[in-house]
């Protein structure tokens, strides 16, 4: 009896989220990750709810996913790391850019373009921003197989024109948020997903919700789609 009690306690502890501050923003706000799912994860998933602080619907997907995985191991061999906002200063101020006026999704070092300014200000140099460096360090440390970054307001799943395309297409089917056909030829210099794909071979893509607040059922369907996609890829 004692033994089974101990075993039960251990498995509950394993299933509890492991919260970790992975870095800090320009204004010293913590950037926090929750690890959930199977602690023996061989397949590692990252979900980022928001990197542009005025695009907030993906944070609801993260909350929903966390709820769904709470107290459960979730799918076997799959570990899920969630970051509600990689831009907590922008989230607090409800601005696209970080507190230093940089578009973090143009600040990653792969194909960084220093000529961008205004709304897409790429920063004074590649990875100049603490939030960018936090996500780079974190990605390198964990080594993600799959990464999904939520944005707004285009209302489609962006399928890259590389081998990740098939998985973005499957996600589009599972979530009900279509790609609009074909793959996305526009290059986004200094973006998080192209850096992850290039550096770690991570399957990484962007999901763009439409503008405004999404229905609760849509948020729930995206949370399920993340898990279903990971299961299909594993
Ligand atoms: Zn965005």
**132 Cα–ligand 1 center, Å:** 14
Of 108, 77, 89, 119, whose CA–CA distance to 26 is shortest? 89
Is the pLDDT score of 82 beyond 90? yes
DSSP notation for 113-125: -TT--GGG---SS
User: How much distance in Å is there from the Cα of 55 to the middle of ligand 1?
Assistant: 6
Superfamily of chain region 20-233 = Zn peptidases (3.40.630.10)
Radius of gyration (Cα) for the chain, nearest Å? 17
63 strand-pairing partners: none
| 151 Cα–ligand 1 center, Å | 4
Residue 52 alpha carbon to ligand 1 centre in Å:
5
Average confidence (pLDDT) over 141-160:
97
Q: CB neighbours (10 Å) of residue 165? A: 18
Region 190-204: what's the mean pLDDT? 96
* C-alpha 199 – ligand 1 centre gap (Å): 21
For residue 180, name the pLDDT band (cuts at 50, 70, 90).
Answer: confident
Residue with tokens 């101990």: 6
**d(CA 158, ligand 1 centre) in Å:** 12
Does the pLDDT of residue 192 top 50, yes or no? yes
User: How confident is the model over 107-130, as a mean pLDDT?
Assistant: 94
Query: Which stretches within 97-177 are classed as H helix?
Result: 130-142, 165-175
User: What per-residue confidence (pLDDT) applies to 166?
Assistant: 94
């Amino acid at each position: 009896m004692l033994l089974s009690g101990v075993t039960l306690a251990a498995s509950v502890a394993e299933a509890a989220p492991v919260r970790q501050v992975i870095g800090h923003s320009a204004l010293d706000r913590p950037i926090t990750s929750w690890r959930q799912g199977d602690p023996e994860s061989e397949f590692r998933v990252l979900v980022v709810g928001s990197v542009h602080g005025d695009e907030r619907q993906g944070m609801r997907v993260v909350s929903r996913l966390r709820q769904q995985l709470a107290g459960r191991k979730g799918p076997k061999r799959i570990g899920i790391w969630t970051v509600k906002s990689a831009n907590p200063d922008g989230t607090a101020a409800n601005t696209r850019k970080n507190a230093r006026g940089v578009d973090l999704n143009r600040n990653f070092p792969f194909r960084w373009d220093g000529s961008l300014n205004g709304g897409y200000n790429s920063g004074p140099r590649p990875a100049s921003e603490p939030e960018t460096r936090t996500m780079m360090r974190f990605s390198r440390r964990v080594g993600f197989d799959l990464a999904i970054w939520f944005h707004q307001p285009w209302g489609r799943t962006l399928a890259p024109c590389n081998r990740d395309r098939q998985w973005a297409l499957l996600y589009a089917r599972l979530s009900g948020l279509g790609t609009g056909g074909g793959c996305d030829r526009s290059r986004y210099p200094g973006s998080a997903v192209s850096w992850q794909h290039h550096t770690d071979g991570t399957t990484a893509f962007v999901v763009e919700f439409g503008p405004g607040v999404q229905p609760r059922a849509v948020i729930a369907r995206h949370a399920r789609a993340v898990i279903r996609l990971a299961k299909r890829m594993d």
